[in-house]
Amino acid sequence: MGGRFACMSCRWKIPPVPLPGRGYRYLAVLLTVLAALVLVAVGTASAADAPRDRHRTIVVGGDRDYPPYEFIDQNGKPAGYNVELTRAIAEVMGMTVEFRLGAWSEMFSALKSGRVDVLQGISWSEKRARQIDFTPPHTIVYHAIFARRDSPPAAGLEDLRGRKVALHRDGIMHEYLAERGYGKDLVLTPTPADALRLLAAGGCDYAVVAMVPGMYIIRENRLTNLVPVARSIAAQRYGYAVRQGDAELLARFSEGLAILRKTGQYEAIRAKWLGVLEPQPVRWQEIAKYAAVVVIPLLVILGGTVLWSHSLRRQVAQRTESLSRALEEVQLNQQQLLQADKMAALGILVSGVAHEINNPTGLILLDVPILRKIYNDAAPILEERYRTEGDFTLGGLRYSRVREEVPRLLDEMQDGAKRIKRIVEDLKDFARRDDVGGKELVDLNGVAQAAVRLVDASLRKATTRFTARYEPDLPRVLANVQRIEQVVVNLVLNACQALPDPSRGIELETSFDPAVGCVNLRVRDEGSGIAPENIPRLTDPFFTTKRESGGTGLGLSVSAGIIKEHGGALSFESALGEGTTVTLSLPVIA
């Protein structure tokens, strides 16, 4: 793959025809050289025109030290967001891939020389687009300025002039800053981690590193004296790249990426590697403080109980029952105090997270419509140029493709931001169980049918045996349509995730129980079932049996809270190896 290639046709020699005179001899030599060049060109063209072996192993290059996007893990294996995304694309496209991670500049050179077939993570630039071909980006990488806690603040790139700035050699920000005249101020390092370590040790004034890798490296290396002082100073499109002219490989990776977006695998991989970091463990001082708040009052209550029972020992027989009730009440109060402390701490955490997430989400929701208007206003001008001059390049892509992709990208950005906003609202609702607003008389059949339509793609992927039975003329219930629909969607998605293979089935059924005055919705799956000891904990906050696949343990807890606020109930029946049945009950209007 990485060796030198020699053209065998260059060894063919055409003997010159002896001709009289020195001029004829020069002509013969010239003809010989031209003949050899023709043979080389023909051989090269034949090799270029030969069809690509679609079953060959594709060598995928990447950076060995750019976590969490791509890196070599503790076992010496390729790992990270890019690696898992490439494996998923290879699986859906039927490709065999071999990972080759090394120094970034070496991998970039290896792509251009043909020693690797594709780079799985590279930022787009006009300079690079003239040398290699890019797929649509799978990520936007935001870069930030990092500084020591005692350093002067830096609000933007202009504040870096005249300062020693460490950054990754041959990375996109090296190219970006060099083009803008920062070359004399730059201190180049082999990896982003080296740049941050140099900054932490006082070897430079600032470091420019991508935001997510920077925070990851600071956490893993415990560089506690470093903080980001200017976020999102540059946003770079980040995706796959192939050698220039390799249209077939470019199309296969672009198609695979599009499939992952539609199936939801892309979002799952992105959430796993680039999602919110795990919260730091609670300090022992906080544990001691909360324990003191609970234990000391409890000891006082128990002490009083003991003294009181001692003074009334002669009346023990008559007061045994009342004493038992008092002890049960003490234990109940203890549990309520513990739960109140947990919910108070959770409310503070959720409030802070919601505030931090809502700000950038709000900017996205405000900016995307503006970008859409800008594009719509520019579209007639671009279309006129397209009609008069033919296809042209716009942002590294042909305009014939841009005209189709940009509206879709804007829709995806808008939908993604709305989804983030809904998730944050669910977290806030979980921590603040207030009464549900916007209630109306609702037909549960209509809500269930709408929920099934929303998860149709997930159902078709998870099973080939989905059935739904809706009892006619169900009595109406007083409910918030969106909240009940959210619960039904969650129950159906949980059933999909429980199936080991598509041959297992899922059943959805609605019914009315006049004896208790409730309408019921049952979701039954033929999945692997739930262990008996886990069933009582299914609605506990943050309890999940799917932690490795990205489960948060909030879905059923939020759903149970919604149903409780509507005066209903969720019940579970399950057997290992046989499946699970979840029943949602809501009271009807008298």
Tell me which residue of 516, 495, 514 sits closest to 567, measured CA to CA.
516
- 488, 447 in Cβ contact below 8 A? yes
Q: What is the pLDDT of residues 294-334, one digit of tens each?
A: 778 888 888 888 787 777 777 767 777 777 777 777 775 66
| pLDDT-above-70 percentage for the chain | 79
Does residue 539 register a pLDDT over 70? yes
- According to DSSP, the β-strands at 465-469 and 505-513 are parallel
Instruction: Please tell me the total number of residues recorded for the chain in this structure.
Output: 590
Does residue 433 register a pLDDT over 60? no
Return the amino acid letter for 358: N
Does residue 281 register a pLDDT over 60? no
Give me the pLDDT at residue 53, please: 57
Q: What is the pLDDT of residues 232-251, one digit of tens each?
A: 899 999 999 999 999 999 99
| pLDDT-above-90 percentage for the chain | 46
Give me the pLDDT at residue 543, please: 65
Return the amino acid letter for 579: G
Task: Please tell me the least confidently modeled range out of 30-44, 279-293, 427-441, 508-522.
Answer: 30-44
Q: What is the pLDDT of residues 388-428, one digit of tens each?
A: 988 888 888 888 888 888 888 888 888 888 878 766 775 66
Tell me which residue of 273, 240, 258 sits closest to 111, measured CA to CA.
240
Give me the pLDDT at residue 586, please: 94
Q: How many CB atoms lie within 10 A of CB 14?
A: 13
Q: Within the chain, what is the greatest distance between any pair of CA atoms? A: 142
d(CA 99, CA 60): 5
Q: What is the pLDDT of residues 51-87, one digit of tens each?
A: 445 678 999 999 999 999 999 999 999 999 999 999 9
Round the average pLDDT of the chain to a whole number and report it. 82
Q: Collect all residues with Cβ–Cβ distance below 8 Å to 295 and sequence separation of at least 6.
A: none
Q: How many CB atoms lie within 10 A of CB 79?
A: 18
Q: What is the pLDDT of residues 115-166, one digit of tens each?
A: 999 999 999 999 999 999 999 999 999 999 999 999 988 989 999 999 999 9
Which phi-psi region, left, alpha or beta, contains residue 438 (left: φ > 0; alpha: ψ -120 to 50)? left
Tell me which residue of 390, 409, 388 sits closest to 400, measured CA to CA.
390
d(CA 180, CA 125): 14
pLDDT band at 287 (very low <50, low <70, confident <90, very high): low
Give the position of tokens 């920000």.
173
- 171, 214 in Cβ contact below 8 A? no
Q: What is the pLDDT of residues 359-387, one digit of tens each?
A: 888 888 888 899 889 989 988 998 888 88
In b/e form, how buried is each residue of 555-570, taking b as 16+ CB within 10 angstroms? Answer: bbbbbbbbbebbebeb
Tell me which residue of 411, 404, 522, 414 sits closest to 470, measured CA to CA.
522
d(CA 141, CA 210): 7
Give me the pLDDT at residue 65, please: 92
Q: What is the pLDDT of residues 460-473, one digit of tens each?
A: 999 999 999 999 98
Rounded to whole angstroms, what are the CA distances from 175 to 20, 170, 171, 182, 566? 60, 7, 7, 10, 58
d(CA 294, CA 292): 5
Tell me which residue of 500, 492, 498, 501 sits closest to 467, measured CA to CA.
492
pLDDT band at 30 (very low <50, low <70, confident <90, very high): low
Extended beta strands in 7-117, E state: 57-63, 65-66, 70-72, 78-79, 96-102
Q: How many CB atoms lie within 10 A of CB 11?
A: 9
Tell the burial category of 74 from Cβ atoms under 10 Å away from its Cβ (0-12, 13-18, 19+).
exposed
Tell me which residue of 366, 437, 379 sits closest to 407, measured CA to CA.
379
- 132, 241 in Cβ contact below 8 A? yes
Give me the pLDDT at residue 93, please: 94
Give me the pLDDT at residue 545, please: 66
